[in-house]
Amino acid sequence: MFVLFAVLAAACAAFGFAVAPNPALPAGGGWELLGSKKVNYSLDHDVLHVGKHEGSFKKLKITVTGGSLNMHKMVVEYGNGDKDEIELRHNFGKGSNSRLIDLKGGDRYIKDITFWYDTDNRSNKKATLHVYGR
């Protein structure tokens, strides 16, 4: 993956294009994007399918772009069927990040992550939820 990015960056530089970093990427390095979801207005829940092809992770971080949302909780389902219910109770503004979320049991394969949230329609912009793991 890094080699592909390096080749693309070199090609863009050769042709005079700027390569902008991902604005949603959390600071610190070593984070891998597991997936993104554009959320609906009102009280809702969404499932982000991850899968073993993404690897195993010890920590998660959530970033919200485009709008705001109130995250109630998330349930992480691991590859072996175990589940962790993680209470978040956090109001995310546009461009904000979650705390570092430690997963139980060290490196774990993640099958799915289900999010429960609500949004208000004051800004008329839907929030996009980005989930990173490392």
Give me the percent of the chain exceeding a pLDDT of 70: 75
- Output 74 or 68, whichever has higher pLDDT: 74
pLDDT digits (tens, 9 = 90+) for 72-115: 999 999 999 999 999 998 889 888 999 999 998 878 899 999 99
Average pLDDT, the chain: 80
Nearest CA to 101 out of 75, 125, 67, 127 is that of: 75
pTM above 0.85, yes or no: no
Q: Which helix (H) or strand (E) holds 60?
A: strand 59-65
Domains recognised in the chain with CATH numbers:
27-133 (2.60.120.260)
* Residue among 31, 25, 37 nearest 133 (CA): 31
Torsion of CA 61, 64, 68, 73, to 10 degrees: -30
- 63's CB contacts (< 8 A; 6+ apart) are 24, 25, 26, 95, 96, 97, 98, 129, 130, 132
Structure tokens at 9: 């960056």
